């Protein structure tokens, strides 16, 4: 979501580039803008949070004011009910906005609940999440339609527990091409749609916003591919599904045409989500 916030900002700047006074900018930000959160804690990893402000439709943006939508001076606290940690801000040029609040002490554990508190100016933003059980990837394979093809798709297999309610997200990362994991296209899964506990599906490559290459939904011979199966809550599924729908329909996820993104953030927009995760590495070998 945050990645597309910045991408949208760049588009608006190109289309509506014009001078504006600081007074107009402040009025726009204070009037309609809300804090947008993309936060997560995975099983086995530290909490991470990206913060920015949504851009009002009537805002006039230039190369100076666009930087003011990135929030770099908030106090971000995560607690697991016993331990509490204030996250530290770091630069990360692989993400947009290029600033991430990182934890270092709290590590995600299945079954634990994690509370997020963001203090910025006179605002307090809060959310809670838990990490669901991990569902392991049973197998993953790179397949092509023909031996003469140089591209193909991933096929993933895992077992969905029949007695449990589960929501999933698939992410991929191509080594040396994508520095971070990217949500696969149509990679948000509700197990109500499964016809069997034994699940087999095709994985379509997601869109990495900062890629210098033209988007392609498939993978290529020689790619070294990380694929991750994440379990998440219903609220996480609803957020990512609404986000995906806006992208696929060609609308802005910040300014949807007739709907709003789902959110579990009290006092703001976005998502604070805990994930169970299983990751495997696949070499796309030419056959």
Specify the pLDDT at position 3.
40
In a domain? residue 267: no
Dist. CA 179–CA 66, nearest whole Å: 24
Please indicate, yes or no, whether residues 126 and 7 belong to a single structural domain of this protein. Answer: yes
pLDDT in tens, 22-60: 334 444 444 467 899 999 999 999 999 999 988 776 666
**Total number of domains in the chain:** 2
Candidates 243, 230, 245; CA nearest to 189 is 230
The answer on 145 and 122 residing in a single domain is: no
User: In this predicted model, what pLDDT tens digit does every residue of 132-165 receive, in sequence order?
Assistant: 999 999 999 999 999 899 999 999 999 999 999 9
Classify residue 265: in a domain, yes or no: no
Same domain? For 155 and 112 the reply is: no
pTM of the model: 0.83
Same domain? For 161 and 250 the reply is: yes
Q: Are residues 6 and 125 in the same domain?
A: yes
Q: If you average pLDDT over residues 164-181, what whole number do you get?
A: 95
Q: What is the separation of C-alpha 175 from the centre of its chain, rounded to a whole number of angstroms? A: 19
Which CATH number belongs to the domain containing residue 228 in this structure? Answer: 2.60.40
Q: Which of 85, 105, 130 is the last residue of a domain?
A: 130
Angle at 96 between CA 130 and CA 106, to 5 degrees: 30
Inside any domain, residue 266: no
What's the domain range around 12?
2-130
Q: What are the pLDDT digits (tens) for 236-245?
A: 999 998 888 7
Query: Are 7 and 126 within one domain?
Result: yes
Q: pLDDT higher for 206 or 139?
A: 139
Has residue 162 been placed in a domain?
Answer: yes
Residues 125 and 7 in one domain: yes
Within-domain flag for 261: no
Q: Are 58 and 97 in contact (CB under 8 A)?
A: no
The domain boundary, picked from 83, 102, 130, lies at 130
pLDDT (0 to 100) of residue 57: 66
Pick the last residue of a domain from 92, 111, 130: 130
Decide if 223 contacts 216 (C-beta within 8 A): no
Asked if residue 29 belongs to a domain, the reply is yes
Average pLDDT over residues 255-276: 81
Give a yes or no: residue 30 inside a domain. yes
């Amino acid at each position: 979501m945050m990645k597309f916030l910045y991408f949208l900002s760049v588009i608006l700047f190109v289309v509506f580039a014009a001078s504006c006074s600081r007074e107009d900018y402040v009025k726009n930000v204070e009037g309609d803008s809300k804090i947008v959160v993309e936060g997560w804690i995975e099983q086995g990893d530290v909490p991470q949070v990206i913060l920015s402000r949504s851009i009002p439709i009537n805002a006039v943006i230039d190369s100076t004011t666009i930087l003011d939508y990135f929030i770099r001076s908030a106090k971000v606290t995560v607690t697991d009910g016993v331990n509490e940690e204030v996250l530290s801000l770091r630069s990360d040029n692989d993400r947009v906005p290029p600033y991430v609040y990182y934890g270092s002490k709290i590590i995600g554990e299945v079954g634990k609940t994690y509370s997020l508190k963001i203090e910025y100016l006179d605002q307090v933003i809060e959310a809670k999440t838990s990490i669901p059980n991990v569902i392991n990837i049973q197998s993953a394979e790179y397949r092509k339609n023909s031996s003469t093809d140089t591209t193909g798709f991933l096929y993933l297999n895992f077992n969905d527990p029949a007695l449990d309610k589960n929501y999933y997200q698939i992410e991929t990362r191509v080594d040396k091409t994508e520095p971070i994991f990217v949500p696969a296209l149509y990679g948000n899964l509700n197990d109500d749609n499964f016809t069997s506990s034994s699940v087999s599906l095709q994985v379509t490559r997601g869109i990495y916003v900062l890629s210098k290459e033209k988007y392609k939904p498939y993978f290529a011979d020689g790619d070294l591919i990380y694929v991750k199966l994440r379990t998440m809550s219903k609220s996480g599924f609803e957020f990512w599904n609404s986000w995906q729908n806006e992208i696929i329909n060609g609308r802005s996820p910040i300014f949807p045409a007739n709907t709003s993104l789902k959110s579990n953030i009290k006092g703001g927009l976005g998502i604070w989500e805990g994930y169970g995760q299983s990751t495997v590495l696949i070499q796309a070998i030419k056959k």
